[in-house]
């Protein structure tokens, strides 16, 4: 069976890596006023953060339309029997549901939608793993099984410089414990049951990054070979420094440096950092 792999733009897999691995990408968009930009294709991260700094209003984000999914799946149906469509968490975006709905509408190709229950390069790792297996001719059911096994063992923690965007965009759940000092804290955040919730209330960025490193260390020391990603929102130099420290401490972990692009950056704001990992 020929299986195509689709992911959305919030995996932030570089274009050359997508092309090498035969991964198809469907974009989400950011909207400034009346102007909508498909991320990756029409707006890149650095330009986006510059625009966000200079505009008074927060941008909005939109998921791909069902029509975009239908068009893509119909195109893929010409060359493939199945498609595995891997998306950002269903608790923060309707993108995954869009793939499910379009999959029910399109004939001639079986659509398997995968809810990453996360986003960014963690989602990218699922897409890369799925692409490797699909290129080896592994059946889609077996690929889905492998993705679910990885999901059960994957972790991601992140922190934002300022919680305002996450709160205004309605993507922060269970934050009542933080109310009162919302802007003064740098909580470590994570996903629980598809939603973003505070993991621990922490007061400074330094302590938050140290706590995330500690959580990673606990897992990395267990001995399972891991792949991990350091993710930043327009803070490449700081992210590289963190990455270098981790690489030195954990030479057996396969690290990737990645970024929060326009759509995720809209909700996290500039200066956010994350660390995600899963078994290799």
Residues in the site for ligand MYR, rule: CB under 6 A? Answer: 28, 61-63, 92-95, 118-120, 122, 156, 158, 171, 231, 263-264, 267-268, 274, 276
Residue with the two structure tokens 């400034």: 32
Q: Closer to ligand MYR at the Cβ: 185 or 272? A: 272
CB of 170 to ligand MYR, least distance (A): 9
Q: Closer to ligand MYR at the Cβ: 34 or 137? A: 34
Residues ≥6 apart with Cβ < 8 Å to 107:
77
CB of 80 to ligand MYR, least distance (A): 26
* Best CA proximity match to 46, nearest among 243, 234, 244: 234
Q: Closer to ligand MYR at the Cβ: 8 or 129? A: 8
CA angle centred on 275, ends 181 and 192, rounded to 5°: 65
Please answer whether residues 157 and 275 qualify as being in contact, where contact means their C-beta atoms are separated by less than 8 angstroms.
yes
The full length of the chain comes to: 280
Q: Closer to ligand MYR at the Cβ: 93 or 234? A: 93
| Diameter of the chain measured on Cα atoms | 56
Q: Closer to ligand MYR at the Cβ: 62 or 167? A: 62
Could you give the CA distance from residue 11 to residue 211 in angstroms, rounded to a whole number?
24
Token pair, residue 9, equals: 């733009």
CA angle centred on 275, ends 196 and 118, rounded to 5°: 35
Q: Closer to ligand MYR at the Cβ: 103 or 276? A: 276
CB of 98 to ligand MYR, least distance (A): 9
CB of 119 to ligand MYR, least distance (A): 4
Residue with the two structure tokens 């790792």: 125
CB of 155 to ligand MYR, least distance (A): 10
CB of 105 to ligand MYR, least distance (A): 20
Residue 125: HSE in the Cβ half-sphere, 13 Å Cα cutoff: 33
Q: Closer to ligand MYR at the Cβ: 21 or 62? A: 62
CB of 272 to ligand MYR, least distance (A): 8
Q: Which residue is nearest to ligand MYR (CB)?
A: 93
CB of 136 to ligand MYR, least distance (A): 28
Angle between helices 120-135 and 140-153 (to 10 degrees): 150
Could you give the CA distance from residue 8 to residue 89 in angstroms, rounded to a whole number?
11
Please answer whether residues 142 and 114 qualify as being in contact, where contact means their C-beta atoms are separated by less than 8 angstroms.
no
Residues forming beta bridges with residue 3, ordered by sequence position: 82
Q: Closer to ligand MYR at the Cβ: 138 or 182? A: 182
């Amino acid at each position: 069976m020929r299986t195509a792999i689709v992911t959305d733009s919030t995996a932030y897999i570089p274009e050359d890596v997508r092309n090498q691995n035969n991964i198809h990408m469907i974009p989400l968009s950011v909207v400034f006023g009346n102007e909508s930009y498909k991320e990756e294709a029409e707006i890149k991260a650095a330009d986006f953060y510059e625009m966000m700094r200079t505009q008074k209003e927060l941008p909005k984000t939109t998921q791909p339309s069902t029509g975009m999914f239908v068009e893509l799946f119909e195109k893929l149906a010409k060359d493939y029997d199945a498609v595995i469509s891997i998306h950002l968490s269903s608790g923060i975006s309707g993108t995954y549901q869009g793939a499910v709905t379009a999959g029910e509408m399109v004939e001639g190709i079986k659509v398997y939608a995968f809810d990453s229950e996360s986003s960014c390069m963690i989602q990218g790792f699922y897409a890369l793993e799925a692409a490797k297996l699909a290129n080896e001719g592994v059946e889609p059911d077996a690929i889905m099984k492998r993705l679910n096994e990885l999901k059960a063992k994957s972790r991601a923690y992140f922190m934002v410089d300022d919680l305002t965007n996450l709160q205004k965009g309605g993507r922060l759940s269970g934050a009542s414990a933080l109310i009162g000092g919302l802007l003064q804290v740098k909580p470590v955040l994570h996903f629980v049951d598809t939603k973003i919730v505070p993991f621990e209330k922490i007061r400074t960025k330094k302590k938050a990054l140290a706590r995330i490193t500690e959580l990673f260390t606990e897992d990395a020391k267990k001995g399972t070979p891991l792949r991990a990603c350091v993710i930043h929102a327009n803070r490449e130099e700081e992210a590289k420094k963190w990455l270098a420290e981790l690489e030195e401490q954990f030479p057996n972990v396969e690290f990737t440096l990645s970024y929060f692009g326009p759509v995720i950056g809209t909700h996290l704001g500039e200066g956010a950092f994350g660390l995600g990992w899963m078994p290799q």
